[in-house]
Structure 1
Amino acid sequence: MVEPVGNHYVVARPVYSETLFDEEHEKLHRYHKTFWDHLKLCFRCSPQRVKRIALRLFPVVSWLPAYRFREWILSDIVSGINTGLVAVLQGLAFALLVNVPPGYGLYAAFFPVLVYFIFGTSRHISVGPFPVLSLMVGGTVIRLVPDVVAANGTSTNTSAIDEERVMVAASVTFLSGVFQLLLGMLQFGFIVIYLSQSLISGFTTAAAVHVLVSQLKFMLQLPVPGFNKPFGIVYTLESVFSQITKTNTADLVTSLVVLVIVFVVKEMNDRYKAKLPTPIPIELIVTVIAALVSYFVNLEEKFNVAVVGKLEEGFQAPVAPDIGILQKCIGDSISIAIVGFAVAFSVAKVYSIKHDYTIDGNQELIAFGLGNIVGGSFKGFASSTALSRSGVQESTGGKTQIAGIISSAIVLIVILAIGFLLAPLQKSVLASLALGNLKGMLMQFKEVGILWRKDKYDCIIWVVTFLAAIFLGLDIGLATAVAFQLLTVVIRSQIPSCTVLANVGRSNIYRNRKDYSDIYEPEGVKIFRCSSPIFFANVEFVREKLISAVGFNPLRVLRKRNKALRKMRKMLKKGELQVTPVCLICVANHTQESDEELDNNRIEELDQPTNMTELPIQINWSANLPPGIIVPRVDIHSIILDFSSVSFLDFSAMRVLQKTLKEFVRIDIDIYIAGAHEGFLDKLERCGFFDEEIKPSMFFLTIHDAVLHILLKKDTASSPKLKLAQNKGSGNDYKIIPINGLRSREGTV
């Protein structure tokens, strides 16, 4: 019974052990499904199940019929046009990161959008090229088709290299799509949880630095080869600075002017976004002006600047991936697949929370997988979602993926009709536009200080991820970061927080005794908490912490007691000890014997429970013992293990725990386990944990139940700290009253 009394509460109930509580309240033994039950359920077929699967696989069928045409169509059109213009420019710019001709970036901005419209579950993300993925694909391209540095290189050779690079980019994109599709079909959408926000932040920041360095050759127009190997960024910078005197001044000036304008206007868009009806399309404005200036001034001939050149009109026929290339880029494809999904899912999650709808991680994997398969087949490169482009789609009023279809229509117009207008555009302008989209990622450097103050483990993960990705490359760096992050999880779980608890405020609340001054510790009772799962990697650490908390090693005490019993038996036989009604008295000098002689190679016997059946009296180990017999003093009689934070216990830990508990029980210390989660006892019974020494009755619902049980058992009713008012006829019921005493009891035992 629970009764509110002002801002206090009064609880009247018996002291419960787990078994007593289950018996009294008739616990139901529910049937738990086995693996085969779940497997049968997966393969069960019914019309309703087929319908659910179809709707989940094709989300467009669910939301398109419910589309509010009159309310949303205008917003989606405006958003789609703005997003499409940005997608065109980013597609051209990010193609430079992939080391393929700019026109292929338009394919990457077109096909995945169409696929995502049908299969995707997010309403607001803009699918297409993303600088981090583009750089990762570009790294694979450079590794398999390296730059040919030759002064007499012909256009034929350049064209052949470009074709080969396009094929590599398409193949690695296709394979990454296959991996994403398989992961989605196998319901592995949860894989993103292994990439923490700190890891993603550090990785994308490092990728932004790589993008910055990789674009220097276009901004300065220098013949810098690609380096896709550890410390490649160092070699790239060395190559840039060794040729810095060959910089094309026109490209440098253009790059700096464009970069400053883009940064300033983007800052204005952020600062005045509440007042602006739509963000200023500065990328489009700069691109149009730069193309016009380049065309009318004829910068290509006068200043020898590098331009985009003629873009191929229309689409090329789909191609099958090169099997030889696929065999060489399996690892790269896995990294690209995971990073692409992690970034896209993170952005989609933000918008789904903001606009109150759900997204399906497994379906997102399928959508991006199919998008990359189709995009790779048409010679595009890997797609995800660019943060800035998705921000444009959402901030300009986009409601659904209809905006994505409109944006793909803009890209289609450029591919089919007006791509030739971009021919005079300088590549340095595209490089500056690519850098202009890195502000958000580069600003993540500020997170280091914040993380250090909030969580040092996360800060270390960020720094290690950043440094690994910078110096080892994005692919090896990502693998290193994931391995390091998992290592920190192992370290944290291997060294769990273990504390000794005490009663606080004479209530039923138990906290770390070091944190409070108003505490009460029952005499002879230790309350030990482990705030972590206990498994093979940390069970020995937990055992050592428990031994440290109680102040003695139970196995050592047990062996000392058994050795003492051997000595006393020998002394009784020799007449060196005399029995009195109270104790044993030494009546003769005892010949000292070494422990090794007493052991006599029977160490196993010393680990068994103490046996006093042959002695005429029971030995009180806390009293004075005969001379020459020394046994460590034990000042506690009960230990309570708080298992409320122990979510699981594996078999290896179970064996060690059982052995440890037996060691305590054999030296007459009562063990109690409190707060174990439901099903804990069932698992222990299945694993044969219980025997004559370790019994289910040691489990209690709460720490306080165990404490009250101990106090009653040890007859501490007269303790000044505990007010136990006896009242015949009320059984074991207690009323918890937060007043001066620890508890007030109603009834007798």
Structure 2
Amino acid sequence: MNMTEGNIRYRIDRLAQTENDLQKSIGVENKETNSVLTKIKRSAQKSCSCSKGCVLGFFKGLFPIFTWLLHYQKKWLPGDLVSGLTVGVVHIPQSLAFAILAGLAPVFGLYTSFYPLVIYTLMGTSRHISVGTFAVTSLLTRSVVFRYFPPEIVSQSNGTSLEMNSTMVPDFDNTNAERFSELDLQRAGVAASVTLVMGVFQIIFGIFRLGFITSYLSEPLIQGFTTGAACQVVTSQTPTILGIQIGRFNGPFSLIQSWVEIFKSLPRVHVPTLIITILCFIFLIIGREINLRFRERMKVPLPTEVLLVIITILASHFGQFRENFDVVIVDNIPTGLPAPVLPNMSILGDIIADGFALSIVGFAISVSLAKMYGNKHGYSVDPNQELVAYGVSNIIPSFFLCFPNAAALARCEIQDNTGGKTQVVGIISVIIVLISILVLGPVFEPLPRAVLGSIIIVGLFGILLQFRNLKHLYKTSKVDFSVWLVTWLAVVLLGVDVGLLFGVVFAIMTVIVRTQIPRFEILINVPGTDIYRAEKTIQQRNNNEGILVVKLYSSLYYANKDMFRSKLIEALGFDPGDVLCQRKEAKERRKIELAKLNENSKGFFGIGKNKDRRQDQVTSGDAQGIPSTSVEISEVETEDAWKSNIHSVIVDCGCFGFTDFVGGTLLKQLCSQFNDIGISFYLAACSVDIREQLQRSGFVDVAGMNSVFPTVHDAALFALKNQR
């Protein structure tokens, strides 16, 4: 290696080798190929091996708190205390607001901010996420709750009786029945059932190590989904902040129908509620801007939501907003923890799809935040353990009237910005929420619901501002731009659950289309090097000396094998299969002509005499107007092929991530056809998996061991040597 004028130059002198020669020279032996059953058996034996250390490691993995708590540093405590107090206080207004968003009584939000947070603190691997109530999961829960108990039932519940299907009424504890209305308990039962199904799915995913499923939820998809869900949330809260009532719409285009109804109801806007909403928006937006602009200077963010709740509670209590201005308030918030109760088991079969969607959405959002903060602070997050933690955080709370939970970006940001280092923040937050449940519940009863609606909408500003990413996405990747836009439109027009499914299917289809119609290029050699580049990118003529080098920028499999073959034929200028067919047809025609000649040559008495004449006719061929022999026609067809100056074809397999049986069979067929017309066919830069698949599909049996090369240049040199 020499250094010349600041440029690094390397010179390597070696023999051109086939892949087989290279494997022998470096001493690589063929590895033993185990069956799937053998691999499963070995994995099971490894997983089921039991020892003291194994059991201890299992419990440490299941409860990471016992690992990081042993290494806790005292210098982290001040930041964790401040962060825990701040996040705990923020939990309270958010939990009340998101419970209403889920179609439940506000107090159920406090329960959902308590039980899951306790469990995740014990079992989670992230140090910076705060689980509990979240807008998107609340919105998905709302669709299920209102499916069984629409808002119209509220007006009926004020009467003397409320008719319900007996299968929808589980046996609630008397303590719960005294503290909640029957409708509240029924709705909570439906939400708890969804929570149970959601947790079961997440546990199953965690047990079977399916944390990789989030790979199918790309960042543009998640952004489009959360932005669309935010639009749905804003739509659902708009009547609350305007003090109007509209009908409930379900199914596709329900958001458009809701907005049409909202605009029709504008003349009936409740003015006192609107004034409260405007003042809340101004207060929250100013606080948000202060926190954003002075983030670097402020040790603790301004708790705008908490201050707003305190101010409006005092104003509503002393101003008697409900009595004097007919403002809708939170009203009844009982104190104490609920008695455990079995979720509504009668509807589990009907809500499996909803629970599955919630499990994917909740996990995707939570683990995305966990990984983001893990990368930021330099620690790893185990997606599979996170799945188990989320699953348990949903299953156990479902017996305490909780609804589906997930991590919320706003609380996570506060936890990070206020100096939180570990899940000690979660422990402190749990204490704050518990105090609110046991003692402070009635304090929140005068709080106007418009305040909670304002907190929800302003809290979604960060998500709604993701629209600004579209310009950058459009410039960098049209595909990601389309995934973002299609997912957003699907969620807005079709609903959150159907929209998510539509977005995932569309995102997967973009991958399938890109692999089904990938880029195909002809490569030429850069003079004086072993480098091959696309013909259209090099300002010179093709100097490959009768060698066609092609590259497919994708894996070769059943979906794109026809495209690959057609592109290869287009690059060649002829189809080897057609050449072989023409030869076969010419041979058949020759047989027919010879048979006719034989019949015409027979005389009454001159069979022997005509025999010699027939031989002369066969020899003369063209002079008698008889088609050429099969040998002569084969030579003509071969000469037609040589007009393209191609004597060898090399396929660069460097971009093949995999190939299936169909792809391997295609390569085998191409090799056989090219060899039959006198053209050599080689593969280069094949990975170990590709070589194994080629061997299984029979390619090596047809092409031989010397048809696969480690580099394109090795194959090209070998082809030139054989041609000479």
- By the TM > 0.5 criterion, same fold? yes
Residue identity in the other structure for 2:381: I
How far 1:558 moved relative to its partner? 1.7
Indicate conservation of the 8 Å contact 1:341/1:384, yes or no: yes
Select 1:707's aligned residue among 712, 716, 721.
Answer: 716
How far 1:618 moved relative to its partner? 9.4
Rounded to whole Å, the distance in 2 between the matches of 1:139 and 1:151 is: 19
How far 1:41 moved relative to its partner? 2.2
Rounded to whole Å, the distance in 1 between the matches of 2:582 and 2:644 is: 12
Indicate conservation of the 8 Å contact 1:83/1:389, yes or no: yes
Give the structure 2 partner of residue 459 of structure 1. Answer: 481
Within the alignment, does 1:10 sit opposite 2:6 as a pair? no
Indicate conservation of the 8 Å contact 2:518/2:554, yes or no: yes
Within the alignment, does 1:646 sit opposite 2:656 as a pair? yes
How far 1:44 moved relative to its partner? 2.5
Matched residues, number: 681
Rounded to whole Å, the distance in 2 between the matches of 1:13 and 1:674 is: 17
Question: How do 1:620-659 and structure 2 match up within 5 A?
Answer: 633-659=643-669
Within the alignment, does 1:491 sit opposite 2:526 as a pair? no
How far 1:328 moved relative to its partner? 1.8
Cα distance, 1:408–1:331 mapped onto 2, change above 3 Å: same
Rounded to whole Å, the distance in 2 between the matches of 1:618 and 1:246 is: 89
Rounded to whole Å, the distance in 2 between the matches of 1:83 and 1:566 is: 86
Stretch moving more, 558-567 or 96-105: 558-567
Between the aligned residues of both structures, percent identity stands at 35
Give the structure 1 partner of residue 600 of structure 2. Answer: none
Instruction: Provide Cα deviations, 1:693-713, integer angstroms capped at 9, x if missing partner.
Output: 421211111001111112222
Within the alignment, does 1:517 sit opposite 2:539 as a pair? yes
Is the partner of 1:11 in helix, strand or coil? coil
Within the alignment, does 1:590 sit opposite 2:612 as a pair? no
Cα distance, 1:633–1:110 mapped onto 2, change above 3 Å: same
Indicate conservation of the 8 Å contact 2:576/2:673, yes or no: yes
Residue identity in the other structure for 2:645: D
Instruction: Provide Cα deviations, 1:657-716, integer angstroms capped at 9, x if missing partner.
Output: 21122111111000111100124333322333333x42121111100111111222223x
Instruction: Provide Cα deviations, 1:88-135, integer angstroms capped at 9, x if missing partner.
Output: 110011111111111111011111110001100000111111100001
Indicate conservation of the 8 Å contact 2:518/2:553, yes or no: yes
Indicate conservation of the 8 Å contact 1:662/1:694, yes or no: yes
Within the alignment, does 1:372 sit opposite 2:407 as a pair? no
Give the structure 1 partner of residue 705 of structure 2. Answer: 696
Residue identity in the other structure for 1:9: Y
Question: How do 1:214-233 and structure 2 match up within 5 A?
Answer: 214-233=236-255
Residue identity in the other structure for 2:298: L
How far 1:547 moved relative to its partner? 0.8
Within the alignment, does 1:66 sit opposite 2:101 as a pair? no
Select 1:57's aligned residue among 55, 62, 78.
Answer: 62
Give the structure 2 partner of residue 253 of structure 1. Answer: 275
Select 1:268's aligned residue among 275, 290, 295.
Answer: 290
Residue identity in the other structure for 2:138: S
Is the partner of 2:650 in helix, strand or coil? strand
Indicate conservation of the 8 Å contact 2:83/2:418, yes or no: yes
Residue identity in the other structure for 1:460: S
Rounded to whole Å, the distance in 2 between the matches of 1:246 and 1:212 is: 19
Cα distance, 1:329–1:259 mapped onto 2, change above 3 Å: same
Question: How do 1:403-482 and structure 2 match up within 5 A?
Answer: 403-482=425-504
Indicate conservation of the 8 Å contact 2:667/2:699, yes or no: no
How far 1:338 moved relative to its partner? 0.6
RMSD: 2.3
Select 1:359's aligned residue among 373, 381, 386.
Answer: 381
Instruction: Provide Cα deviations, 1:605-663, integer angstroms capped at 9, x if missing partner.
Output: xxxxxx85xx8x9947566xxxxxx8895531100000011111111222222112211
Question: How do 1:558-577 and structure 2 match up within 5 A?
Answer: 558-564=580-586, 575-576=616-617
Residue identity in the other structure for 2:681: I
Residue identity in the other structure for 2:686: A
How far 1:150 moved relative to its partner? 8.0
Instruction: Provide Cα deviations, 1:480-531, integer angstroms capped at 9, x if missing partner.
Output: 1111111111111111111100112431111111011146522211001011
Give the structure 2 partner of residue 743 of structure 1. Answer: none
Indicate conservation of the 8 Å contact 1:576/1:590, yes or no: no
Indicate conservation of the 8 Å contact 2:685/2:711, yes or no: yes
Is the partner of 2:10 in helix, strand or coil? strand
Indicate conservation of the 8 Å contact 1:120/1:364, yes or no: yes
Question: How do 1:151-162 and structure 2 match up within 5 A?
Answer: 154=158, 159-162=181-184
Rounded to whole Å, the distance in 1 between the matches of 2:481 and 2:126 is: 30
Question: How do 1:660-699 and structure 2 match up within 5 A?
Answer: 660-691=670-701, 693-699=702-708
Is the partner of 2:536 in helix, strand or coil? coil
Instruction: Provide Cα deviations, 1:573-627, integer angstroms capped at 9, x if missing partner.
Output: 664565xxxxxx865141469xxxx9xxxxxxxxxxxx85xx8x9947566xxxx
Indicate conservation of the 8 Å contact 1:149/1:225, yes or no: no
Residue identity in the other structure for 1:203: F
Residue identity in the other structure for 2:308: V
Question: How do 1:330-349 and structure 2 match up within 5 A?
Answer: 330-349=352-371
How far 1:561 moved relative to its partner? 3.1
Rounded to whole Å, the distance in 2 between the matches of 1:474 and 1:619 is: 66
Select 2:85's aligned residue among 63, 81, 86.
Answer: 81
Is the partner of 2:623 in helix, strand or coil? coil
Instruction: Provide Cα deviations, 1:210-239, integer angstroms capped at 9, x if missing partner.
Output: 110100121122223433322221232233
Instruction: Provide Cα deviations, 1:258-286, integer angstroms capped at 9, x if missing partner.
Output: 11221122122111100112111111111
Indicate conservation of the 8 Å contact 1:577/1:586, yes or no: yes
Cα distance, 1:277–1:306 mapped onto 2, change above 3 Å: same
Cα distance, 1:151–1:708 mapped onto 2, change above 3 Å: closer
How far 1:79 moved relative to its partner? 0.2
Cα distance, 1:618–1:444 mapped onto 2, change above 3 Å: closer
How far 1:10 moved relative to its partner? 0.5
Give the structure 1 partner of residue 113 of structure 2. Answer: 109
Stretch moving more, 673-682 or 95-104: 673-682
Give the structure 2 partner of residue 23 of structure 1. Answer: 24
With normalisation by structure 2, the TM-score equals: 0.90
Stretch moving more, 229-238 or 421-430: 229-238
Is the partner of 2:249 in helix, strand or coil? coil
Rounded to whole Å, the distance in 2 between the matches of 1:130 and 1:618 is: 74
Rounded to whole Å, the distance in 2 between the matches of 1:708 and 1:655 is: 26
Structure having the higher helix fraction is 2
Is the partner of 2:252 in helix, strand or coil? coil
Stretch moving more, 425-434 or 215-224: 215-224
Residue identity in the other structure for 2:656: V
Is the partner of 2:152 in helix, strand or coil? coil
Cα distance, 1:574–1:524 mapped onto 2, change above 3 Å: farther
Is the partner of 1:26 in helix, strand or coil? coil
Residue identity in the other structure for 1:98: A
Is the partner of 2:67 in helix, strand or coil? helix
Residue identity in the other structure for 1:329: I
Within the alignment, does 1:119 sit opposite 2:123 as a pair? yes
Instruction: Provide Cα deviations, 1:530-574, integer angstroms capped at 9, x if missing partner.
Output: 111111111111111111111111111122234445667868966
Select 1:187's aligned residue among 209, 212, 217.
Answer: 209
Stretch moving more, 431-440 or 703-712: 703-712
Residue identity in the other structure for 1:184: G
Cα distance, 1:103–1:714 mapped onto 2, change above 3 Å: same
Indicate conservation of the 8 Å contact 1:504/1:519, yes or no: no
Indicate conservation of the 8 Å contact 1:307/1:425, yes or no: yes
Instruction: Provide Cα deviations, 1:331-359, integer angstroms capped at 9, x if missing partner.
Output: 11111111000000000101000110011
Is the partner of 1:588 in helix, strand or coil? helix
Rounded to whole Å, the distance in 2 between the matches of 1:542 and 1:156 is: 73
Q: Give unmatched runs, 5+ long, in structure 1.
A: 579-584, 599-610, 624-629, 716-749
Residue identity in the other structure for 1:708: L
